[in-house]
A and B are shown apart, each in its own frame.
Chain A
Amino acid sequence: MSYLSISKVTKQFGDTVVVDDFNLDIEKGEFVSFLGPSGCGKTTTLRMVAGFEIPTSGKILLDGADITDKAPNQRNVGMIFQSYALFPNMTVAQNIGFGLRVRKESEDMVKQRVEEMVTLINLEKHANKYPYQLSGGQQQRVSLARALAIHPQVLLLDEPLSALDAKIRISLRSEIRAIQKKLGITAIFVTHDQEEALSISDRIVVMNTGVMEQVGTPFEIYNFPKTRFVANFVGSLNTSDAEVLDPAKGLVSMDGVQFEAAEGTDARKKGDKVKIAIRPERLSFASEQKKANVMDASIENITFLGSVVRIQVKIGKTKFNMDTFNNPFLELPKIGSVEQVTCSREAVLVLDE
């Protein structure tokens, strides 16, 4: 049986449905991200697990126990807030020890546990400092330690990195993941940043306006998006209108140019209007290696992005972005010339209109 089970959970505010039929089973020790744009319901769902919102319908079970209606201070979950929420009148050590003191643990126990936690987050020298004396990244680490000190069954992180600088965001997210792995604690991580979700999650739940769009590993979500929203939201994508030519063979036609797709046409009929989507990095020059699909493309524009070179090509009537790794010794084609570009059958995603 799964460790944390969220089943058929719906949340309504008046007439507005903010979370619609959310179903997820999380294993112990799993790191799951809720990914989506603002207002998609990811934070609301997290807060229902924490107990700050009560589901309109549905159940939440933690390790077999029904916690759906339990008060937030009766659950054993640890929450990290976007704004750190450290108690300003307490030192780092006092903040971390707060939950334990509330549970009336002995002072010795508290001291020992606080020391453990402070070492875990590498802030031994700052244990007696006040929050206003710490940087944003340090404060968030204290917040993490404070939540972990009480041995929570689940760790809930509500966009913990959004308020931090880009560099800190990257280093802190790996730190969080490392600590989570080390302690083997189950975690739910809410974010709108797809790179964050992709880099540290075991599984990702992509949400949009209260609905679960797709659940899967980062690999699955990125490479095999099931809906147009997921394909668009996670990573960048070239899209274009097309028409189904031969469902059995997976042939579609875009502006007269034929593409062969590996899947996505089985349930369709000839003449169906669809959208095809191709990731920029899946297109390459045919001169390097020919794959299943070969098309003529005129070079429109070349943008140097550092490690990636983005070449804008026109296939048929549509402009596509083609990303290739920067190779200083590779000669790039001239703007205006026509080259052959290629992609595999699997690279062509067929999505609904």
Chain B
Amino acid sequence: MSASSSAKANQLSSRFIYVFVSLYFLIPLGATFYWSLRGAKDVLGFEAYRKLFADTNFLPAFSQSIVNAVATILLSLLIVVPTAYWVTLRLPKLRPVVEFITLLPFVIPAIVLVFGIIRLYSRPPLLLTSTYDSSRVLLICVYVALSFPYMFRAVDNGLRAIDVRTLTEAAQSLGANWGTILFKVIFPNLRVALLSGALLTFAIVIGELTIALYMAQHTLGPYMADLTRSKVYEPSAMAIVAFAITWAAMGIIDFVGRGATRSKTKVAID
């Protein structure tokens, strides 16, 4: 077989495989979208979406999730960035320990983790689950810990890309203290990495079910689960909305990430 005809056969089978597998992924989405348009009897429309947004339980659940997500992201950033920075520059021996810890959320699945959290914090002396709000704070803390793998990896890659050691030495030789270095030199140059870590965390927290469920929190996850049991068409609208939000988050990460690789050598000092 000559070079060009085998390449063409290659392309043909590639396209075939791609189309075939794409169908597997697109059909459920299509079916869900189709269902979401059947909210009103015999009419194709956005009735289901309207009912969804009108549901008295939706907005509170949605806003709770958003607030939880934002709190998680901010807290996680505040913890992970200094950690990654210090481990890279001053405490390289701690790196294996830190990387081991970032493996823990995988080793300890959510269902097991919530089991342990409840066992540990629902009895004195560490009673943190007595009120809804204290449980909520606990939930956010757990989410922060669960975000560590993604945040750390994103920040670590970002630090590597900007050669943080040299930047720090340059700043120090100019007389800057740690606070200045962190906030005026490191953070601004990590914008892209931080954004991608934040968006990943956002996507994870916003629809999280397992932990929120067993901690009796009224966030989007448990709300959606309730919806599937109580309503017929609204869950499909919910699924489409969830898909759209996740797609937007991932799209932003990729879009911003592409711009970053182009300007990898450009470094800003705010």
Neighbouring A residues of B2 by C-beta, 8 Å: 69, 71
Proximity string of chain A (60-88) to chain B, C-beta cutoff 8 Å, 1 when within and 0 when not: 00000000010110000000000000000
CB-CB nearest in chain B for A52: B3
Distance of B78 from chain A, by nearest CB (Å)? 40
Query: 8 Å CB contacts to A: which residues of B1-34?
Result: 2-3
- A72 to B7 Cα, complex, angstroms: 14
- A271 to B2 Cα, complex, angstroms: 59
Task: State the main secondary structure of chain A at its contact with B.
Answer: loop
CB-CB nearest in chain B for A69: B2
Neighbouring B residues of A69 by C-beta, 8 Å: 2
Neighbouring B residues of A71 by C-beta, 8 Å: 2-3
Size class of the B contact interface (CB-based, 8 Å): under 10
Question: How many pairs of A and B residues are in contact by the CB < 8 Å rule?
Answer: 5
CB-CB nearest in chain B for A73: B3
Q: 5 A-B residue contacts at CB 8 Å? A: A54-B3, A69-B2, A71-B2, A71-B3, A72-B3
CB-CB nearest in chain A for B6: A71
Distance of B4 from chain A, by nearest CB (Å)? 8
- A166 to B2 Cα, complex, angstroms: 41
Neighbouring A residues of B3 by C-beta, 8 Å: 54, 71-72
Distance of A264 from chain B, by nearest CB (Å)? 47
CB-CB nearest in chain B for A53: B3
CB-CB nearest in chain A for B1: A71
Distance of B239 from chain A, by nearest CB (Å)? 45
Distance of B62 from chain A, by nearest CB (Å)? 51
* B binding-site residues for A, Cβ under 8 Å: 2-3
Size class of the A contact interface (CB-based, 8 Å): under 10
5 interchain residue pairs of minimum CB distance:
A71-B3, A71-B2, A69-B2, A54-B3, A72-B3
- A54 to B2 Cα, complex, angstroms: 11
Distance of B7 from chain A, by nearest CB (Å)? 11
Query: 8 Å CB contacts to B: which residues of A36-58?
Result: 54
Neighbouring B residues of A72 by C-beta, 8 Å: 3
- A27 to B254 Cα, complex, angstroms: 55
CB-CB nearest in chain A for B4: A54
Interface centre among A69, A71, A72 (most CB of B within 10 A): A71
- A69 to B5 Cα, complex, angstroms: 13
- A72 to B6 Cα, complex, angstroms: 13
- A307 to B3 Cα, complex, angstroms: 53
- A54 to B7 Cα, complex, angstroms: 14
Distance of B53 from chain A, by nearest CB (Å)? 53
- A98 to B183 Cα, complex, angstroms: 56
- A69 to B2 Cα, complex, angstroms: 9
- A166 to B3 Cα, complex, angstroms: 38
- A304 to B2 Cα, complex, angstroms: 59
Distance of A49 from chain B, by nearest CB (Å)? 15
Distance of B1 from chain A, by nearest CB (Å)? 8
- A13 to B2 Cα, complex, angstroms: 20
Neighbouring B residues of A54 by C-beta, 8 Å: 3
- A323 to B188 Cα, complex, angstroms: 53
- A71 to B3 Cα, complex, angstroms: 6
CB-CB nearest in chain A for B3: A71
Distance of A43 from chain B, by nearest CB (Å)? 18
- A286 to B131 Cα, complex, angstroms: 102
- A69 to B3 Cα, complex, angstroms: 9
Distance of B161 from chain A, by nearest CB (Å)? 24
- A24 to B3 Cα, complex, angstroms: 26
- A72 to B2 Cα, complex, angstroms: 10
Distance of A67 from chain B, by nearest CB (Å)? 13
Distance of B9 from chain A, by nearest CB (Å)? 14
- A236 to B2 Cα, complex, angstroms: 46
CB-CB nearest in chain B for A54: B3
Distance of B92 from chain A, by nearest CB (Å)? 24
- A71 to B2 Cα, complex, angstroms: 6
Distance of B101 from chain A, by nearest CB (Å)? 30
- A235 to B120 Cα, complex, angstroms: 78
- A71 to B1 Cα, complex, angstroms: 9
- A96 to B3 Cα, complex, angstroms: 25
- A267 to B222 Cα, complex, angstroms: 93
- A54 to B4 Cα, complex, angstroms: 10
